[in-house]
Amino acid sequence: MTLAPGAYYLVGPTASGKSACAQKLAEATGADILSADALLVYRGMDLGTAKPSLAERAGVRYGGLDLVAPGETCSVTVWLAAARAFLAETKRAGRPLLVVGGTGFYLKALTEGLDEGAPPDPAARARWQALYDRAGLAGLQAELQAQGALAMVPPGDMDNPRRLIRALERRADGPAARPANWEGPAAKAPTFAGLAWSRDALAGRIEARVDAMFAAGLLDEVARLMTAGLVAATTARQAIGYAEAIEVLAGRMPEANARERIAARTRQLAKRQRTWFRHQAQVIWIDADQANSVETLVQEIHSVWQKTGPAPWPE
């Protein structure tokens, strides 16, 4: 199994098996892997994000992981700078680069460039903050939906009020403040290979992942992070799995309820990711239900990449 030097993209909703397939493809082809996932950037947040293990990372060069502490802010600008430095090393070495993830905003920034739009507007921010204080996350999400601007929020940040408020600010600035051709994939955007599961099959995979997270010690991981300041971390503490684990450890939620809520929030995230890729990217979808094994999926992905060839190196 070989890949010519260049960039190859593997996407899909959370729990679709992207990481396992990418690991095997990288091992077989000598490729590097760049993670395009908004939660894998946090150091120490491993089990709840299904981050590649240390053993997996020992055999494959990874980028986009462990960029900041949970209490720090990791904007798309921070991730993009790290991603460009990583891919530059891959390019110099003449190796293939596998860009793998489900955070569409990161992928769009990498492939089409980043336009941060107008600077923050304190008056607008105060107005949207008042909406959040009055109606919570649901109020902000409803306002974005009413304005047709939900796609401006990275799927993993839909529960982050700061990101929602900033999206509403940028929406008020008008189309010029948004990335070019935001309403659909740009002509220069590369073609992605994507893993598609039926709704029921993906729901089963999500439940299995939640069980595996707890069995591997999610509560212990979160307890350690809490002593390091996770509770005060605005973004990280709201992440799927971590918010619920904090509630369990604080005695405010039974573990069974936490598992159910994590699975429900993950299903909602997967739905948003599918919608984003359907409208914002050019994807050749692989029927994962039919493939029925990681080995078959790996062959299918490789076949797609052989047909499309490598995408140009991101600038």
We report the CATH number of the domain holding residue 45 as 3.40.50.300
Same domain as 68, residue 93 = yes
pTM of the entire predicted model? 0.80
Residue 237 pLDDT: 80
Q: Is 178 part of a structural domain of the chain?
A: no
Q: Using alpha carbons, select from 301, 236, 251 the residue that is nearest to residue 23.
A: 301
Q: How many domains does the chain have?
A: 2
In tens, the pLDDT along 101-131 reads 999 889 989 998 876 555 566 777 788 888 8
Residues 30, 89, single domain; the answer is yes
Give, for all 315 residues of the chain, the pLDDT tens digit.
Answer: 899 999 999 999 999 999 999 999 999 999 999 999 999 999 999 999 999 999 999 999 999 999 999 888 778 889 999 999 999 999 999 999 999 999 988 998 999 887 655 556 677 778 888 888 888 888 888 787 666 666 667 656 677 787 788 888 776 544 333 443 334 444 467 999 999 999 999 999 999 999 999 999 999 999 999 888 777 676 778 889 999 999 999 999 999 999 999 999 999 999 999 988 988 899 999 999 988 789 999 999 999 999 999 998 887
Within a domain: 208: yes
One domain, residues 45 and 77: yes
How many angstroms separate the CA atoms of 19 and 300, rounded? 15
Mapped onto helix, strand or coil, the DSSP state of residue 51 is: coil
Q: Mark whether 138 and 67 lie in a shared domain.
A: no
d(CA 283, CA 258) in angstroms, rounded, equals 34
Residues 256 and 135 in one domain: no
In this structure, is the dihedral angle defined by the CA atoms of residues 157, 159, 161 and 164, taken in order, positive or negative?
Answer: positive
φ and ψ of 220, to 5 deg: -65, -40
Whether 127 and 19 map to the same domain: the answer is: no
Whether 163 maps to a domain, the answer reads yes
Q: Is residue 139 part of a domain?
A: yes
Same domain, 164 and 223: no
Measured distance CA(123)–CA(263) in Å, rounded: 37
Say if residue 279 is in the same domain as residue 151: no
Express each pLDDT in 152-173 by its tens digit.
676 566 777 877 888 887 765 4
155: domain range?
122-172
Residue 183: C-alpha distances to residues 45, 151, 186, 237 (Å): 32, 8, 9, 31
Angle at 189 between CA 186 and CA 190, to 5 degrees: 155
Residues 6+ apart with CB under 8 A from 293: none
In this structure, the answer to whether residues 206 and 158 fall within a common structural domain is no
97 DSSP β-pair partners:
7, 32
**250 and 110, same structural domain?**
yes
